[in-house]
Structure 1
Amino acid sequence: MFIQVIQGKAADPDRLRRCMDRWTEELQPGAVGYLGTTCGLCNDGTFIALARFESEEAARRNSARPEQGAWWAETEQCFDGPVTFMDCPEVTQWLGGGSDEAGFVQVMEGHTRDAGRMHELLTQSTDRVRELRPEILGGTLATFGGDAYVEAVYFTSEDEARAAEKLEIPDDLRSLLEEESKLMGEVEYYDLHHPMLVSPPR
C-alpha cells in the first residue's frame, strides 16, 4: 500500500467539500489502483486527506490524468496558502487498517528515530489492543523521508475514544505503548470530528 497525505488550511470549507464529493462521483471510477480516502477538517481549519493506493505507481498514474490536474486546479483555490503533499511508501495496517464505519479519526504526525521499530510495535500490540480497546476500529502507520510519520486511528465515536483514554493499561501492553510513545517524539494531533470516508465500490 502507498499513502499520499495532503494537508493545508481551508479558506472555503464548503467549496472544498463539494470538490471532494465531485472527485468521488466523477474521477474515482477512473482511478486504477485507488483504495480509499480518509479526510476531514480540524477545528482550526486544517484539512487533511490520506489517499490510499495499491502502489506508488498507481498514485502516479492517477496524478498524471488530465482530469485529475483540472480537478486539482479548482480544488487548490479552496485553500489559504500552500498545500503540502507527503508521499508515504511504507505503510503498516493494524486491526485491519482504516474503517469507513468510524465516527471519529485522529491523525498524528511527527518524526521518529526508528520508523522500523514503530511498525514492529504496532504489529506486536494488535491483539491486546483489540481485546482492551473495542472502540478502536483500526489504523494505519505511514512513514516517509526516513524519519517522518503519519498515523491515523479510527474510532467508533469520539465519546468512546475519550472515555477509553482513562482506562488502566495492563503491564504487558503498557511497556509496548511506552516504547512507542518514546519513538513518536513530539506529536502533532489532528482530530477529524466529522471524517469523510470513501472507498471504491467492491
Structure 2
Amino acid sequence: MFIQIIQGRISDAAEVKDALDRWVRELAPAARGWLGSTAGVTGDGTLVAFARFESREAARRNSDRPEQGQWWIETSKLFTAEVTFHDCAETDTWLGGGSDEAGFVQIMQNRVRDFAGLSGFMRQVDDTAIRTYRPEIIGSVMAVHEDGAGISEAVYFTSEAEARAGESQEMPSEMQGQWEQMMSFYEESEFTYLDLRTPWLYSP
C-alpha cells in the first residue's frame, strides 16, 4: 500500500468537503488502484487527508490525469497557507487497520528511528489484550514520510467519547513494558495529535 498525505490550513471546511465529495463522485471511478481516503479538519482549521493506493505507480497515474490536475488547481485555492505533501512508500496497518465505520480519527505524528522494528513489534503484541483494554480502538494505518524519519499514524476509534474514556484509564502493569518498548522505536517521545472529530471516510 502507498499513501499520499496532504496537510494544510484551510478557509472553509464545508467547501473542502464538497471538493472531496466531488472527487469521489466524478474522478474516483477512473482512479485505478485507489483504495480509499481518510480526511478531516481539526479544530484549528488544519486539513489532513490520507489517500491510499495499491502502489506508487497507481498514485502517479492518478496525479498525471488532466482532470486530477484541474481538480487540484481549484481545490488548492481553499488553502490559506502552504500545503505539505508526503508520499509514503513504507506503510503498515495495526489491528483492524482503517475503517469507514469510525466515529473519530486521531492523527499522530512523530519521527521514527526503526519502522521495520516498530511494525514487527506491533504484529507481536497480543491483540486480545489490547482489545480488552481499549475496545474502542478499531485499528490504525501507519505511513513513513519520504524523508524516512517522519511518520503519521491514523488511529480509528468507535467514537471520541469512548476514546477519551479509554485513554483516561490506568494502563495495566503488564502492558506498561510493551508501551515503553514501542516508544523506543521513535526518535522523540512527544507526539503531535491532530483530532478529526468528524472524519470524512471514503472507499471505492
TM class by shorter chain equals over 0.9
Q: Report the equivalent of 1:137.
A: 138
Report Cα offsets for 1:142-200 as digits up to 9, x if no partner: 11322111111000000000101122323332212122234332311100000000011
Check whether the contact 1:125–1:173 (CA below 8 A) recurs between aligned residues. no
Per-residue deviation at 1:126?
5.2
Q: More deviation in 140-149 or 26-35?
A: 140-149
Q: Cα RMSD (Å) of the superposition?
A: 1.3
Amino acid at match of 1:31: A
TM-aligned CA distance change 1:126 to 1:80, over 3 Å: farther
* Residues in 2 aligned to 1:108 and 1:139: alpha-carbon distance in whole angstroms: 10
* Residues in 2 aligned to 1:78 and 1:178: alpha-carbon distance in whole angstroms: 41
3-state DSSP of counterpart to 1:20: helix
What is the count of residue pairs matched by the alignment? 200
* Residues in 1 aligned to 2:126 and 2:202: alpha-carbon distance in whole angstroms: 24
* Residues in 1 aligned to 2:135 and 2:200: alpha-carbon distance in whole angstroms: 21
Q: Structure 1: which 5+ runs fail to align?
A: none
* Residue 81, structure 1, aligned to residue 85, structure 2: no
* Residues in 1 aligned to 2:47 and 2:122: alpha-carbon distance in whole angstroms: 26
Amino acid at match of 2:196: L
* Residues in 1 aligned to 2:40 and 2:126: alpha-carbon distance in whole angstroms: 26
Q: Structure 2: which 5+ runs fail to align?
A: none
Q: More deviation in 118-127 or 47-56?
A: 118-127
Alignment of 1:53-132 (within 5 A): 53-125=53-125, 127=127, 128-132=129-133
3-state DSSP of counterpart to 1:177: helix
3-state DSSP of counterpart to 1:138: strand
3-state DSSP of counterpart to 1:183: coil
3-state DSSP of counterpart to 2:125: helix
Amino acid at match of 1:167: Q
Percent pairwise identity: 51
3-state DSSP of counterpart to 2:11: coil
Check whether the contact 1:94–1:126 (CA below 8 A) recurs between aligned residues. no
* Residue 198, structure 1, aligned to residue 202, structure 2: yes
Report Cα offsets for 1:4-56 as digits up to 9, x if no partner: 10000002222211111100110110110000000000001000000001111
* Residues in 1 aligned to 2:184 and 2:42: alpha-carbon distance in whole angstroms: 25
Q: Report the equivalent of 1:159.
A: 161
